[in-house]
Amino acid sequence: MSKPLPIAVLVSGTGTNLQALLDSVHGHEAQVVAVASGAPGALALERAAAHGVPTAVFERAVYADREARDGAMAGWLVERGARLVVLAGYMELLTFVFLERFPGAVINVHPSLLPAFPGLHAIKQALAYGVKVFGVTVHFVDAGVDSGAVISQQALELPDAREPDEVLQALRPLEHALLPGAVRLVARGALGIDPNNPRRVTVAPASVEAP
Ligand code: GRF
Ligand 1 near 17 CB (within 6 A): yes
pLDDT tier at 207, thresholds 50, 70, 90 = confident
pLDDT in tens, 23-69: 999 999 999 999 999 999 999 999 999 999 999 999 999 999 999 99
Ligand 1 center–CA 194 separation, angstroms: 29
pLDDT of residue 208: 60
In the chain, the largest separation of any two C-alpha atoms, in whole Å, equals 59
Ligand 1 near 13 CB (within 6 A): yes
Strand order in the sheet with 30-37: 55-57, 30-37, 5-11, 84-87, 106-110, 133-140, 150-157, 197-203, 191-194
User: What's the predicted TM-score (pTM) here?
Assistant: 0.96
